[in-house]
Structure 1
Amino acid sequence: MKRRFQLILVLLVTLGFSYVGIWNQPVAAKEKATIHLVAVGDSLTEGIGDTTGQQGYTKRTAKLIAKENNVKVVTANYGKAGDRSDQIIKRLKKNKQAQKDLKNADVITLTVGGNDLQQTLFTAFLAESEADVTKTVDESIPTYTKNLEKLTDYIESQNSTAPIYLFGNYNPLYVYLANRDDINNDVKRYNAINAGMAASDSQINYVSTFSTLTYGQYKTAKQKKALVKAAVKASSGSLDNKSVQETLNGDDEEKNAYITNEDHYHPNDIGYDKMSALLVKQMQKDKKAWLGG
């Protein structure tokens, strides 16, 4: 009888520990049913050049994310054409709804720097040499860096957990000024600031669009060499600001298949498809950060 009692006691204790073990097992986090994507930035976020009403990359990205992850995606878009980095942050600070949306965001995207660089380049095109253009661009870098820091710090002050996907920029003039390596290099200088910001901040991820949108369908060395030859022949490598403006405002069909004919500057529907694909590829690498699970 005593042995039987001891055996029962051992079984109860053993079962007790087993149940404790079961209850103490970590519960797997569920993936979110709805993702709130908030897009902030300039004309690339507003979607200038998009003819489909999808706000450029924003709703295209939402559709891709929804399809690949079987999740509902709600978007809010705070893009405005022409805004520099300093203007974006001023606009956000005045917009209570934007602040609310940022606080509730699971994912935040940001396009910035294109107008800062464009305005600098248009001033620099009046310079006498390529070296002078580069000098003007270099002189603008500290201001842009400081403004970008303020902008990302502000966004993170509204939401310290949602991953931020920061786009780099591209050179829409390449197909016309292919012999102007300095312009490509100037764009890369600004992109290095965006990429550096992402490298130094674990909440920020960099999304490069330079190669895809700068070169468009001209992917081989032979194709690029032909563009350089055509640019030299047409004297399109001129530093004259007027010639650049005429290129952007011209009625000729855009040479880059990913850039719109409307202004020879912004992506067209294909270009925004490419941007969205690049963004989603980056997002899928660390989807637990915004999807959970």
Structure 2
Amino acid sequence: MKRSRWLWGFIGLASLIATLVFVFGFVYAVNDILNPSAATMGKEAAEPSESVPVTVPDPEKEYRITALGDSLTKGTGDEGGKGYVGYVAEKLGKTTGRKVTVVSNMAVNGYVSEQLLSDLETKKGTAYAIRQANLILLTIGGNDLSQAALAQNGGRNNLSEVSGIDPEKLEKQLKAPKENVKKILSLLSEINPEAKVVYVGLYNPYYEADESRRSSVVIQKWNGDVYETVNANPLMTLVPTQDLFEKKVTHYLAADQFHPNGAGYERIADRIVQALQ
């Protein structure tokens, strides 16, 4: 009788432990989805020892991609989960016949230019992943632009009020973020002077809501200013996307009407692959 009670007690304890492990794992997984960190954005390089040499492969034989930036590089909104980075890797492999590896995707939802600049200046792991690549894909600036527009709108995210944004004031608000982007591009070149860098230009998700089209003019000005920096380096390319989304913007946006959907990301990827050929 005592042995039976002991056995049932042991079974009950084991069941309790198994339940706690399951609950902890579930909560951890949900938190990981709701509160993503840079370490969960994809395969990320471990922080290296200073003595570890980095050999960048010949792009004529192999592409090694490191992706940086915000939610667009993460692929938020793509129901298929690839994002433009996944499509680029897939399409580059098919069109060139070369091996394509995504070394690391360190993009983070909500990142602004100041945060990415800080990562490049302070995080050894970020610099290491950049040095491992011969192709760097980058989106940054969209959140800077959105924050500046919302600040004018009193923090209200109301598409019907987009036309009320003062473009001249917005230009002044974006002066510091533009300088951050220029510093980011300069640092990428310093960290890995042999890698190709593709900066994905901004598009206007509010095109159809803004009857005045003044927001598009500001975005075009941003892309033009960044292009001046990119154009000075033969290994850098700015891939324009604004024209891909205008006229039929709702066809290529996700349910949040801000991020691209799968079709939108694939259009961006097609243009990147074309620019690399």
Q: Are the structure 2 counterparts of residues 264 and 131 from structure 1 closer, same or farther at C-alpha, using a change threshold of 3 Å? A: closer
Q: Residue deviations 1:124-174, cap 9 Å, x none?
A: 235999686112212123312221121112111210011111111111011
CA distance in 1, matches of 2:80, 2:162: 41
* Alignment match of 1:160 (pick from 193, 210, 219): 193
Deviation, 1:275, is 0.6
Match of 1:79, SS?
A: coil
Q: How far is the alpha carbon of 1:116 from its aligned partner?
A: 1.0
Code of the aligned partner of 1:135: E
TM-score under structure 1 length normalisation: 0.68
**Matching residue of 1:194:** 226
2:268 is aligned to: 275
Runs of 4+ deviating beyond 4 Å:
126-132
Distance, in Å, in 1 between the alignment partners of 2:264 and 2:202 is 13
Cα distance in 2 for partners of 1:148, 1:39 equals 15
Q: Structure 1 vs Structure 2: percent identity of aligned residues?
A: 25
User: Which residue number corresponds to residue 126 of structure 2?
Assistant: 98
Per the alignment, residue 54 of structure 2 pairs with: none
The secondary structure found in structure 2 opposite 1:49 is coil
Question: Distance in 2 between the 1:31 and 1:114 partners?
Answer: 29
Tell me the secondary structure at the aligned position of residue 187 of structure 1. helix
Whole-Å separation in 2 of the counterparts to 1:103 and 1:131: 44
Distance 1:132 1:71, change over 3 A: closer
Aligned to 1:257: 251
Query: Of residues 27, 42, 61 in structure 2, which corresponds to 1:33?
Result: 61
Structure 1 unpaired stretches of 5+? 1-29, 218-255, 285-293
d(CA) in 2 for partners of 1:271, 1:130: 24
Corresponding residue SS for 1:215: coil
Please show how residues 49-128 of structure 1 align to structure 2 within 5 Å: 49-54=77-82, 56-75=83-102, 76-126=104-154
Query: Where does the alignment leave 5 or more consecutive residues of structure 2 unmatched?
Result: 1-57, 156-160
Greater Rg, structure 1 or structure 2? 1
How many corresponding residue pairs?
214
SS of aligned partner of 2:125: helix
In structure 1, how many angstroms separate the alpha carbons of the residues matched to 2:153 and 2:215? 10
CA distances 1:173-192 after superposition (whole Å, capped 9, x unpaired):
11223x12111111112111
> Against the structure 1 CA distance between its residues 98 and 31, is the aligned structure 2 distance closer, same or farther, given a 3 Å change threshold?
closer
Give me the whole-angstrom Cα distance separating, in 2, the residues matched to 1:81 and 1:151.
18
Q: Using structure 2 for the length normalisation, give the TM-score.
A: 0.72
Change (3 A) 1:144 1:31: closer
